[in-house]
Structure 1
Amino acid sequence: MALTLFDLDNTLLAGDSDYLWGCFLAQQGIVDSATYERENAQFYRDYHAGSLDITAFLRFSLRPLREHSRSLLETLRQQFVTEQIEPIMLPAARALIAAHQAAGDTLVIITATNAFVTAPIAERFGIAHLIATEPAEINGQYTGEVAGIPAFRDGKVTRLEQWLAANGGDWHDSTFYSDSHNDLPLLERVTRPIAVDPDPQLRVIATARGWQMLSLRGSNNA
């Protein structure tokens, strides 16, 4: 059975759920607005530049999960997904997912964004399998730390290998859709790497290597 992998942010979504969640928390007054938005924006720039310190970023982004109750966080998340995420779920992404489901593929969203934010998004796309950065928790309360390996860069490969071992799958017939040069380790590992609305760095690499490119935002070719 074919394995089809999707990055989430700026691939299936016309935006970045991690960055938008931070903006949403600031707008809701859950975090200090000016300071948090400034740091959030800097981490986002670092990500696009390929210089993100993932440890520092996760310490920053998971802190609000530690500082507030689970019930409040879940209420905020429901509002966030409805107001901020559903409008940027790309129709062409839904069609692409449906085509792979119809073909009988095993579909997985694999994302560096934490599972608290992304689990309901994967559900809305109708994808049962999610590999995401896992926030640590004790007795139902988030600690602000990471459980296991973040699903970022080489960590995506490691986490997927763990998932395949646990689920009896393999790399034999695998496709990965992603927009980001940060996903090169996984793009280089799969059978069919596909650059979706690629960032400038990935576009150069995909062009040089003859990888397929496509757009889910309007045109047939990115």
Structure 2
Amino acid sequence: MELVLFDLDNTLLAGDSDFEWAQFLIHKGVLDREVQEARNKDFYEQYKAGTLDIFEFLDFQLAPLARHPRTELDAWHREFMTRSIVPMIGEPARTLVRQHLDRGALVAVVTATNSFVTGPIVREFGIEHLVATIPAHEQGQFTGKPRGMPAFKAGKIERVEAWLESLGLYLGSFERSWFYSDSHNDLPLMGRVSNPVAVDPDETLLAHAEKSDWPVISLR
């Protein structure tokens, strides 16, 4: 069996679902535009620069989940999928996922973006497994905090290993393993698979990929 891992934002998607979810809530009037839009953009720039404090960001990103009932959040997310996400899914990304699934690989999306936002997106691709940052909840209500280690930088390795262990597997169980990503933030996990692939990479990842002779592809 082969293992195939995909980053989501700016890899399978031609955009960032975390960023767009906050922008969507601002558009809906759920978040204050004057205050929140600047913070959202600032966090996104920190992520691209590799300086993001993931816990500070999650305080910002998960807070709206705690202020609204799940039924309302789910309704917003359905609209978000139609308005913001589906237009960011290109046929090359769908085709690449289908090729790996058709070959019988164990396929998962591994993303720092929380599972509430990303779960329906991953299902849109026909992928069964999601390794993501988990928003904590109590009695059916989100708390606004993450549960356990966020799936960010080296945290992705921890989350992937825990997921594989739950299946009775580990990274060494596979003859070949892939991880597709656009971001230098994912270098820790890319270094743990046999076939790292840079997808429309940022400048830092591109330089590393060229130095390491990793494949560089585009899904745009």
TM-score higher than 0.5: yes
For 1:149, what is the secondary structure of its paired residue? coil
Q: Match for 1:211: what amino acid? A: W
Q: 1:220 aligns to what? A: none
Q: Where do residues 102-113 of structure 1 align in structure 2 (5 Å cutoff)?
A: 102-113=102-113
Q: RMSD value over aligned CA atoms? A: 0.6
Shift of 1:68: 1.1
2:194 to 176, 191, 194: 191
> Could you tell me how far apart the structure 1 residues matched to 2:74 and 2:150 are?
22
Aligned counterparts of 1:201 and 1:158: Cα–Cα separation in 2: 23
Matched with 2:133 is 133
Query: What is the deviation of 1:70?
Result: 1.0
Structure 2 residue 99 is matched with structure 1 residue 96: no
- After superposition, where does 1:112-131 map in structure 2 within 5 Å? 112-131=112-131
1:103 CA displacement: 0.8
TM-score by length of 1: 0.97
Runs of 4 or more above 2 Å deviation: none
Report the Cα distance in structure 1 between the residues aligned to 2:190 and 2:168, rounded to whole angstroms. Answer: 21
Q: 1:179 maps to what in 2?
A: 182
Q: Deviations 1:84-119 (Å, cap 9, x if unpaired)?
A: 000111210100011101111010000000000000
Residue 187 of structure 1 deviates from its aligned partner by: 0.3
Equivalent AA in structure 1 for residue 184 of structure 2:
H
Is 1:210 paired with 2:210? no
Structure 2: how far apart are the matches of 1:3 and 1:157? 14
Which residue identity lines up with residue 189 of structure 1 in the other structure? R
Percent of residue pairs identical: 50
Query: Where does the alignment leave 5 or more consecutive residues of structure 2 unmatched?
Result: none
TM-score scaled by length of structure 2? 0.97
- Alignment gaps of 5+ in structure 1: 218-222
CA distance in 1, matches of 2:142, 2:86: 25
1:45 to partner: Cα distance:
0.2
Alpha-carbon shift at residue 127 of structure 1 (Å): 0.1
1:73 and 2:73 are equivalent in the alignment: yes
Query: 1:3 is matched with which residue?
Result: 3
Query: Residue 168 of structure 1: SS of its match in structure 2?
Result: coil
Describe the superposition over 1:33-61 as per-residue Cα deviations: whole angstroms up to 9, x where unpaired. 11111100000000000000001000000
Tell me the distance in 1 between the aligned counterparts of 2:61 and 2:180. Answer: 25
Q: In 2, Cα distance between the equivalents of 1:159 and 1:53?
A: 18
